[in-house]
């Protein structure tokens, strides 16, 4: 990890820890989760918001006023809104995406949940998702939230990542293995 990335992660972790502890004390973790989900969606959808968060061109006052207006317009809770304004004042708003990721992990850990990244050749049905979550829960021992995406290049099967474990049952992977075996033979 580069030094800059490490510093950014450290800054994001400190803000996330402070917000998480305040939300835990106030028993407002569900509200905080809804707020960070909304903020993450807004960052994904709005190039202007991403620019405000990451551009060094804006002054501290402009950043604080801008993020304050965004937080108010989105209806974010005072805890997250004030944290974002403080981050703008300290010129630390650029770590907001990392802070969101750290907060999500802290909330999931607190609830005893784990996220599984699932890539499939076609969209999973509700029944398939429920069955996969049940099987993963039995193996992991925690509630599993699926983060499902589609990659038609897999041809068929699944690629599942839970923490540091990865299970690749895709046809593409099996064809690659077969191709490598054939190269070795001959």
Q: How many domains is the chain built from?
A: 2
Among 109, 131, 148, identify where a domain stops.
109
> What global pTM score does this model have?
0.72
Question: What stretch of H or E contains 40?
Answer: helix 29-45
Q: Which residues contact 120 (CB under 8 A, 6 or more apart)?
A: 148, 149, 150, 151, 154, 157, 158, 159
Q: Which pLDDT does position 184 carry in this prediction?
A: 85
Identify the CATH number of the domain in which residue 125 sits. Answer: 3.40.30
> Has residue 70 got a pLDDT over 70?
yes
How high is the pLDDT of residue 163?
Answer: 82
Question: Which of 80, 109, 138 is at the close of a domain?
Answer: 109
Query: Model confidence over 121-158: pLDDT tens digits?
Result: 999 999 999 999 999 999 888 889 898 999 998 988 89
Domain coverage including residue 61: 3-109
């Amino acid at each position: 990890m580069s030094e800059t990335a490490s510093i950014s992660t450290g800054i994001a972790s400190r803000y996330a820890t402070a917000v998480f502890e305040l939300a835990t004390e106030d028993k407002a973790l569900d509200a905080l989760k809804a707020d960070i989900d909304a903020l993450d969606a807004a960052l994904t959808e709005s190039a202007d918001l991403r620019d405000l968060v990451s551009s060094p061109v804006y002054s501290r006052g402009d950043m604080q006023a801008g993020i304050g207006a965004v937080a108010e317009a989105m209806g974010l809770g005072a805890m997250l809104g004030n944290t974002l304004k403080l981050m703008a004042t300290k010129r630390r708003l650029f770590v907001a995406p990392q802070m969101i990721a750290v907060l999500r992990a802290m909330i999931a850990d607190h609830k005893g949940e784990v996220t599984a990244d699932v890539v499939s050749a076609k969209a999973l049905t509700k029944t398939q998702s429920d069955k996969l979550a049940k099987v993963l829960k039995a193996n992991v021992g925690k509630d599993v939230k699926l983060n499902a995406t589609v990659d038609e290049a897999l041809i068929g099967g699944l690629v599942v990542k839970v923490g540091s474990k990865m299970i690749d049952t895709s046809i593409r992977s099996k064809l690659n293995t077969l191709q490598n075996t054939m190269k070795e033979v001959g």
